[in-house]
Amino acid sequence: DAKTTQPPSMDCAEGRAANLPCNHSTISGNEYVYWYRQIHSQGPQYIIHGLKNNETNEMASLIITEDRKSSTLILPHATLRDTAVYYCIVRVRVVADTGKLIFGQGTTLQVKP
């Protein structure tokens, strides 16, 4: 699976959009971009994933550049409860894949009042 690079930490004001970048310059054509987050002392929580089109769900939006070498996770209106470590993971998504995830260091997002 391709390696990802994320900034170690970011701050965001409550109510504003949080934009979390991720670089994955060695991504292959069949690799998806996944985002998970981990709130302190809890298990990781799935947020969103995408291949090449932008995706949106009730939690966030995922913007993937046209060359797929980077992506941005957007939390449109950050709240204090969004304070967490956010992990960007790239992996192949195939039938035989049981979904093993390898975590990088992630970005610690601190939402401030």
Partner 1 sequence: GAVVSQHPSWVICKSGTSVKIECRSLDFQATTMFWYRQFPKQSLMLMATSNEGSKATYEQGVEKDKFLINHASLTLSTLTVTSAHPEDSSFYICSAPQRLAATYEQYFGPGTRLTVT
Site string for partner 1, 53-92 (x = CB under 8 A): --------------------------------x-x-----
Instruction: Give the burial class of 27: count Cβ atoms within 10 A of its Cβ; 0-12 exposed, 13-18 middle, 19 or more buried.
Output: buried
Asked if residues 89 and 4 have their Cβ atoms less than 8 Å apart, the reply is yes
Give the tokens for residue 84.
């967490």
User: Which of 41, 53 has the CB closer to partner 1?
Assistant: 41
- Residue 15: CB minimum distance to partner 1, A: 27
Which residues 1-30 are close enough to bind partner 1 by CB under 8 A?
none
Q: Which helix (H) or strand (E) element contains residue 84? A: strand 84-92
Helix (H/G/I), strand (E/B), else coil: 48: strand
- Residue 47: CB minimum distance to partner 1, A: 12
Site string for partner 1, 32-51 (x = CB under 8 A): ------x--xxxxxx-----
Closest CA to 62 of 79, 86, 39, 85: 86
* Interacting residues toward partner 1 by CB under 8 A: 38, 41-46, 85, 87, 93-95, 97-106
